Amino acid sequence: MTLATEQSSGMTLERLTDFFAAWEAHDVDAVVSFFAPDGAYYASVGPDDEGTSFRGIDEVRRGVAAFLATYPDAHYTDTSVTLMGDKALAQWTFQGTTTDGRKVKYRGVDVLEFSGDRIRVKDAYRKERSAPIGG
């Protein structure tokens, strides 16, 4: 994992490393423990402008559990985190297999916002593999 930092209002690169390790370990409770009680997780896919929105700690738990259940072998590599005060950007490569056997791999980024040392917003974006634009 590559890490870079500027002064933060409470979040540290060490905590962010632990947060991403919890995702990698498929530990829903550990992932959720990093969120503020009123935190939000915006998944990269879904019906809303923000993907699928999970707001509040119970909904964040539900969203994290649903994501990890969809990809039982979810794995992240090439993670790079840049911390900028009360925000961070995390770039990563995701690989997994859906419960129906479809393998996926994509690059993505999380835009994170913090309240102290807790995550207020985790907004995920990803590159979808398809035929080239204009080709």
Specify the pTM. 0.88
Predicted confidence band of residue 4 (pLDDT cuts 50, 70, 90) = low
Written as one letter, the residue type at 8 is S
Q: Is-contact 119 113, C-beta < 8 A?
A: yes
Q: What is the pLDDT of residues 45-97, one digit of tens each?
A: 899 888 999 999 999 999 999 999 999 999 999 999 999 999 999 999 999 99
Structural domain 2-126, CATH architecture? Roll (3.10)
**What is each CA distance from 31 to 9, 16, 24, 93, 119, in whole angstroms?**
20, 10, 10, 18, 10
Higher pLDDT, 6 or 84: 84
Residue predicted with more confidence, 110 or 7:
110
| Residue ranges covered by each domain of the chain | 2-126
Say which residue the tokens 């994992």 belong to: 1
Q: CA torsion angle for 106, 42, 119, 112 (degrees, to 10)?
A: 50
